Amino acid sequence: MDGSVGPMRVLVTGGSGLVGRAIERVVKTEGKEREGEEWIFLSSKEANLVSAEETRAAFEKHRPTHVIHLAAMVGGLYKNMRQNLDFWRNNVHINDNVLHTSQEFGVVKVVSCLSTCVFPDKTTYPIDETMMHNGAPHDSNYGYAYAKRMIDVHNRALFQQYGLKYTAVIPTNMFGAHDNYNIEDGHVMPGLIHKTYLTYLAKKEGKPLQVWGSGRALRQFIYSLDLARLFLWVLREYDEVEPIILSVGEEDELTVKDAVDAVVEAFGFEGEVIYDTSKSDGQIKKTANNAKLRKYLPDFKFTPFKQAVKETCDWFVANYDTARK
C-alpha cells in the first residue's frame, strides 16, 4: 500500500492525546519508523479542526500523503450524558473537515478512530463490524456515537464515488499513559486510576475508595501501546474500507470490578472499596468479536492486563503534576 506512493508523510490528528502519544512512542522508540517516512503529530493547540479554515491550513503546511485521524471531542459517560449536542456538532465538523480536506489534498489513505459506542444498544453479542448501523446507539452518548458512525458513511461514499480506500478502526476501552485522568469527565480506567491514587495518598484518613456504578459492567480493555502497534499495521497493510475492530478477545472481557481490583493492586491500596449503585453503569456490556483481526494477525500478542495497568499507574504517579486531569 505505502510502497506505491513513495515516502509516506503521515499526519496524526489528535497527536498529543492518549493514542497519538502511544503511536509516537512506538514509531520513535520501538524502531517502527520506516526509512523515508515522516511523522507529524498535530495537537489541538496547533489547529482547531472544528474550523474548516484551520484544518485546510494544517494540510497546506504539512502536505500529508497519509492521515491517522484521532482528533475528537471526547469524554466519559457522565460528560456525554450532559452534552450530547456538543459531542454531535463538534465531532461532525471535525470529521467532515479532516476527511474532505484529505480528499481535496490527494491523501492516499486515512485511518480514523471510532469507538464501540457506535454499535446499537439493542443487539446480539458478540458485536462484529457488520452490525454498526443495525439500530440506535445507547441513549447516554448518542451524539458522539452518531457522529462517529458518520465517518463510516463518509468513507463508503468516498470509495463509491472516488475509489478512495479510507477506513476506520473500532477499538474497545483503551487506556494508558497521556490519557485524560479527570475524575468527573474521564473514561472509566483513567478516572479510576486518579481516584484510587488520591484515596491511597489520603490513607491516613482511612477513607474508602468510592467507585461509581455497581462494578458489574463488562468491558474489553486495550492498552494504548498495543493499539498503537495495530494502528501502524492498519495504515500499512489493511486494505479494506470496512472498519476493523481492534480488541482483545471475548475471553478477556472483564468487569469494572476486575479493573478496580487491578488498579488497587497496582497502588498497593489496602482500604475499603465501596460501589455507589446510585450512579449509572452505562451499557452493561458491549462485547466485541475480534475474529476479523485474528484472521489477519493470528499471532499478535496483547500486553497482559495487570502489567498494562501497573505501567499506566506508574506513569501517572511519575507524571502527576503534568498529566491531564
Catalytic residue positions, numbered: 144
What are the phi and psi torsion angles at 180 (to 5°)? -95, 110
Burial 197-214 (b: 16+ CB within 10 A, else e): bebbeeeeeeeebebbbb
Nearest-angstrom CA–CA distance, 284 and 230: 27
One DSSP character per residue, 167-230 reads: EEEEE-EEE-TT-B--TTTS-HHHHHHHHHHHHHHTGGGTPPEEEES-S--EE-EEEHHHHHHH
Nearest-angstrom CA–CA distance, 125 and 273: 30
Place of cell 500499512: 236
Nearest-angstrom CA–CA distance, 187 and 182: 8
Q: Are 168 and 112 in contact (CB under 8 A)?
A: yes
Partner residues linked to 41 by β-bridges:
12
